[in-house]
């Protein structure tokens, strides 16, 4: 397996371009299943997860072409050949479960394997299942597959999600576009990726109101047509690269960045002594002066602090003045990067869903192991501030969520390279 070697001590300067959002694109791609006409996505990220979703849609009969070096995804689902999402593909990525709602809406049946993905907690499917059952679907779990049928088609319903699940909201939102009557999703997720999906579905002819709030109303239509849609900026990649000059020193401009996508995150950076400035090209970031200071962070559904930036924030706080507390409220098992940071000299104590981080003057390079996507990049960020060389192993996780990471960081002055596995 490949490794990434980071030699710390180099200040950063220059521009880092931010790609389209992985999590948005993975929800937008299954929307092709709702229409017989073509759906084209621009500003798509070039990631292994996109290839996995392309393979899954292809197995259902969709035609998927990656154009312009992968930045444009052209899809057509004029004739589906299957409604079964097999384990061999679904196990690679949790977002595969987002074909369930569209298949039920269009074909009135679906057989979808329980998903796999990275090891950061259970992330159960019960929220998805209860939402679709409220719309008249009959769903049975058998042999590791969800067997779903909507006799006579899905029907509009009012349903309150027990948790504002992004995936659960996306599945119900897509399913409701072709359901008979009106659907109201209460306690809906409010993430920018939900807003982006609604924007795309509306371009396809869907009738949707309220996205970005806790209540989304969808008036079902008979059919959706084709559309072209630009994928929203990736707020998690944006937040990750905003931290790079804070950790390494220097100043970076994240091209295409929008503060409205990362408000709660940017507020914490400001509290820690970081200058964050919106420009006409993106977001500029630098330390205000000297060493940053400790802040407390608690993850929460949007618009709260994103769980997908918790690991990266911990890497920054490892060298902050004082003691910080990070509380993880979304997923269990999401402090697996902490022991690896400790190997680099960090002072971290984990008690259940809370981590206490006491900043040290300097981290030291060490061989470390990536456990999941966001943990991988947190170790690379830590390496930017470490004395000597940090070797991050098992970086295949990174390719699921960050395109050309080494090129983007080295372009801003980081000493970073990928080496092939033995």
DSSP per-residue codes, 176-232: HTTSBSEEEEES----HHHHHHHHHHHHTT-EEE-TTSSEEEEE--S----EEEEPP
Annotated binding-site members for UDP-N-acetyl-alpha-D-glucosamine? 94, 308, 330
Q: In what order do the strands lie in the sheet with 72-76?
A: 63-67, 72-76, 39-42, 227-230
Quickly count helices (H) and strands (E) in the chain. Answer: 13, 26
Dist. CA 221–CA 421, nearest whole Å: 52
- From the candidates 25, 118, 254, 318, give the one annotated as an active-site residue: 118
Residue at token pair 């401009």: 253
Residue 43 structure tokens = 């500003």
Q: What angle do the packed helices 310-317 and 373-385 form, to 10 degrees? A: 20
Dist. CA 138–CA 150, nearest whole Å: 6
Dist. CA 238–CA 11, nearest whole Å: 19
Assess whether 254 carries a catalytic annotation.
Answer: no
- Helices (H), ranges, 221-372: 235-248, 263-271, 310-317, 338-343
Residue at token pair 């008249």: 136
Annotated binding-site members? 22-23, 94, 308, 330
Residue 20 structure tokens = 């389209």
Residues involved in catalysis: 118
């Amino acid at each position: 397996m490949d490794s990434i070697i980071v030699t710390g001590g180099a200040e950063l300067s220059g521009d880092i371009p931010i790609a389209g959002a992985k999590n948005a694109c993975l929800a937008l791609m299954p929307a092709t299943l709702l229409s017989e006409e073509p759906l084209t996505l621009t500003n798509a990220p070039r990631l292994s997860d996109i290839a996995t979703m392309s393979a899954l849609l292809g197995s259902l009969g969709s035609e998927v072409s990656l154009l312009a070096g992968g930045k444009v995804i052209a899809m057509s689902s004029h004739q589906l050949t299957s409604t079964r999402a097999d384990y061999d593909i679904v196990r690679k990525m949790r977002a595969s479960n987002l074909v369930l709602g569209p298949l039920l809406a269009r074909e009135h049946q679906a057989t979808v394997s329980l998903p796999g993905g990275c090891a950061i907690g259970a992330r159960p499917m019960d929220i998805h299942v209860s939402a679709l059952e409220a719309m008249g679907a009959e769903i049975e779990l058998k042999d590791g597959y969800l067997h779903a049928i909507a006799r006579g088609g899905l029907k509009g319903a009012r349903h309150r999600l027990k948790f504002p699940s992004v995936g659960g909201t996306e599945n119900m939102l897509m399913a409701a576009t072709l359901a008979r009557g009106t659907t109201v999703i209460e306690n809906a997720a409010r993430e920018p990726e939900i807003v982006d999906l609604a924007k795309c579905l509306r371009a396809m002819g869907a009738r949707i109101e309220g996205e970005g709030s806790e209540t989304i109303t969808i008036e079902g239509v008979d059919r959706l047509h084709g559309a072209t849609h630009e994928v929203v900026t990736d707020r998690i990649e944006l937040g990750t690269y905003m931290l790079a000059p804070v950790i390494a020193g220097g100043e970076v401009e994240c091209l295409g960045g929008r503060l409205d996508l990362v408000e709660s995150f940017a507020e914490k950076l400001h509290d820690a002594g970081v200058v964050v400035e919106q420009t006409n090209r993106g977001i500029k970031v630098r330390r205000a002066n000297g060493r940053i200071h400790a802040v407390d962070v608690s993850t929460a559904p949007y618009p709260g602090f994103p769980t997908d930036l918790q690991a990266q924030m911990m890497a920054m706080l490892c060298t902050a003045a004082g003691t910080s507390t990070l509380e993880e409220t979304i997923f269990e098992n999401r402090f697996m990067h902490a022991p690896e940071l400790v190997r680099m000299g960090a002072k971290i104590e984990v008690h259940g869903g809370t981590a206490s981080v006491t900043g040290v003057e300097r981290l030291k390079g060490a061989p470390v192991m990536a456990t999941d996507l966001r943990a991988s990049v947190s170790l690379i960020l830590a390496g930017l501030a470490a004395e000597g060389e940090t070797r991050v192993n098992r970086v295949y996780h990174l390719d699921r969520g960050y395109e050309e990471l080494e090129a983007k960081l080295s372009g801003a002055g980081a000493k970073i390279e990928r080496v092939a596995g033995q």
